[in-house]
Structure 1
Amino acid sequence: MFIGIISKVGIQKSINLANELQDSLSANHDLWLSDVDEIDNFKDDFSNTDLLITLGGDGTILRVARSTIGYDIPILGINLGRVGFMTEIPYNDALKQINYVLSNFSEMRIEERIMLNAKGMSDNKQFELNALNDIVLGHQSVSRLMDIDVYVDTSPMAQYRADGIIISSPSGSTGYSLAAGGPIITPEQKLMLIQPIAPHMSLDVGVVIPYNSKISINITSPNKAVVSADGFDEVVLGSTDTIDVEISKSVTKFIRLLPESDFYSQLTTRLKRDVLKNN
């Protein structure tokens, strides 16, 4: 097998584990190793890669998913982060579980999660963003309420006065959207969630949008805004700029050892663990 191992600079456990995996796997597999921030340097290897092993948290996976979109490479996540909704294998059990996956690769369950695609105009130039978690529209600098018109399949849906708006995938429903008061959606669903950020005298609940719809966003306030994908790739928008968000034709694939029902059994545990680490 041709395996990519993606570590995270600044996390010593991640670097140490990458070195251990290189020593352990190189005899039987072809490998390439990269820091997550340098993964784009290995694009020539993506088409031949059978598996990506990420050594970090959910943020590492978000970066990898966006960089490798369209290549259909399954990801095996080793959790070195805080919550780990996407990373299934704990650090202390990594070597054992990775060897099990490689020995039983053809029998492993593949979980597919939708991605979001956003296209728009900024300063008369077209841009395109891809995200596994969310597309977020927010302030560029001045903390004032934004006026945002939202359409679904060209039909007016809502006029928001808010700090911003989140277009979330099911994967992103346990992230920023949850902090903004949105619902949790199981990861296998194929839908989008429109979640306002601190709305004022406007629709203040999330709205679920089906998989085959298009969400169009117009900014009607004079202040500039910023749109980002998974917290990266910020694009500045003015009052005449627009964004269209749809479910991408590409998906992110994960190798899973546990059944789908594990999402429910681990949900409260993961959220409590994050709360405890922040207190």
Structure 2
Amino acid sequence: MTRRVLIVTHGGRPEAVVALHEAVKELQDAGFEVGLHDDDLAETFGDHMAQLRTREGVAESEVVMVLGGDGTILRAAELTHGTGVPLLGVNLGHVGFLAEAEREGLHAAVQRLAAHDYVVEERGVLEVRVTLPGEDEPRVGWALNEATVEKASRERMIEVAIGVDGRPLSSFGCDGVVMSTATGSTAHAFSAGGPIVWPDVDAMLLVPLAAHALFARPLVVGPSSTFALELLQRSAGPGVLTCDGRRRIDLPAGSRVEVRRGDSPIRLARLSTAPFTDRLVSKFSLPVVGWRGRVAEDAAEAARVARQAATAAVDAAKRPDGGHPTAPDPKGE
């Protein structure tokens, strides 16, 4: 039986093109049939026909391999959401929290994939319902990282009322509000001052953006809870809702947004069993020198080696020959 991998990449980046050619060759040499997806038609909020237009070849694939950063992985998640097909991210970006392998580990990742040496992890998503003034039926969307309500006019705040589980909690003026999954806690919510939540914690976060209020702290709720946000009539300007930085809908005053746990998780192919703590140390280059024991020293050394290898891979990709790396000889010969 033929095994198939669909590749999604950022075609506008030279290093991504180099990685694409290498990935195709590696996968074909390992016996995979390879498909390419270069359609960047983003879903619009609530437009489920967009999914049908862009998902050709996804259901027949064992894995969707993503060559790029977290933004490219979020684009690929639009293809796999609701299909059960896992994503395998190879990081070509800066941080790449959602990626499972770095650029220099592409060969090893393909070999692990060929050997069925990976596990599949599920990440919860948000179901986002928007009720606009004058409309009875809500428009329904989703997000893997976050749903963000922000002011549409740079010079004007929006006035919002926040509720949890059908009960009012607070109202204030602000630049916006981020509602995120645990997966998204290291993305927009993190930059807004929210807590980092380990991905195996089944929780949702709400983080206000530049709120003009005494009580406007980040909130963490359980999987059965629902956030509600109303854009108040006294708001000085309209708002806009964006899911994962891609799917958006305009919010006039009087709009209501409800966010709860979604029913269709995103599936990620995992090659490493390292704890999330090690990922934080590596991705953020956290200082762990001084922590007692070899574990911290090993983590710091691994992070240093990963940074050097990533720099070398970028430099190699810029060479005229494309810098195609060869697999290291395990005997060192």
Aligned with residue 11 of structure 1, among 7, 10, 13: 13
Measured on the aligned residues, the alpha-carbon RMSD in Å equals: 2.0
Q: Distance in 2 between matches of 1:66 and 1:117?
A: 14
- Residue number among 128, 149, 173 corresponding to 1:161 in the alignment: 173
Q: 102, 121, 144: which one pairs with 1:111?
A: 121
C-alpha displacement of 1:268: 3.0
1:124-145 deviation per Cα after TM superposition (whole angstroms, max 9, x unaligned): 4542221111000001114222
Look up the match of 1:34: 37
Distance 1:24 1:257 in 2: 17
Larger radius of gyration: 2
Provide the C-alpha distance between the structure 2 equivalents of 1:95 and 1:42, rounded to a whole number of angstroms: 28
TM-score (norm 2): 0.76
Structure 2: 5+ residue runs without aligned partners? 43-50, 287-306, 308-333
TM-score (norm 1): 0.90
- Distance in 2 (CA, whole Å) between partners of 1:228 and 1:247 is 17
- Cα deviation, 1:179-198, whole Å, max 9, x if unaligned, reads 11100001122110010001
Q: Give CA deviations for 1:140-199 in whole Å, capped at 9, x if unaligned.
A: 114222211111121112213211100011111111111111000011221100100011
How many residue pairs match? The answer is: 271
Q: 1:13 to 1:112 in 2, by over 3 A?
A: same
Aligned counterparts of 2:229 and 2:6: Cα–Cα separation in 1: 37
Deviation per CA, 1:22-68, whole angstroms, max 9, x where unpaired?
Answer: 23323622221012625865513222221010000111111111332
Distance 2:41 2:90 in 1: 19
- Between the aligned partners of 1:146 and 1:271, the Cα distance in structure 2 is 33
CA contact (8 A) 1:215 1:245 kept: yes
1:226 is aligned to 2:240:
yes
In 2, distance between residues paired with 1:242 and 1:265? 39
C-alpha contact (below 8 Å) 2:118/2:271 kept by paired residues: yes
Q: Which amino acid aligns with 2:249?
A: V
Aligned to 1:65: 77
Query: What is the deviation of 1:113?
Result: 0.8
Answering whether residue 203 of structure 2 is matched by residue 191 of structure 1, we say: yes
Alpha-carbon deviation of 1:9? 1.6
Shift of 1:219: 0.7
1:249 maps to which of 263, 267, 272: 263
In 2, Cα distance between equivalents of 1:179 and 1:42: 31
Q: Give matches, 1:1-279, under 5 Å.
A: 1-26=3-28, 28-35=31-38, 37=40, 42-103=54-115, 105=116, 107-122=117-132, 124-125=134-135, 126-220=138-232, 221-261=235-275, 263-272=276-285
**Aligned partners of 1:173 and 1:85: how far apart in 2?**
11
Change (3 A) 1:89 1:142: closer
Contact 1:166–1:177 under 8 Å retained in 2? yes
CA contact (8 A) 1:4 1:31 kept: yes
Query: Where does structure 1 lack aligned partners over 5 or more consecutive residues?
Result: none
Q: Is the 8 A contact 2:68 2:89 kept in 1?
A: yes
C-alpha distance in structure 1 between counterparts of 2:282 and 2:112, whole Å: 25
Name the one with the larger strand percent: 1
Q: In structure 2, what is the Cα distance between the partners aligned to 1:208 and 1:66? A: 26
Q: Which residue of 1 aligns with 2:302?
A: none
Relative to structure 2, which stretch is displaced further, 131-140 or 250-259? 250-259
Moved more, 204-213 or 120-129: 120-129
Return the alpha-carbon distance in structure 1 between the equivalents of residues 9 and 154 of structure 2.
Answer: 36
Q: Among the aligned pairs, what percent are the same residue?
A: 26
Measure the CA separation in 1 of the matches of 2:96 and 2:55.
26
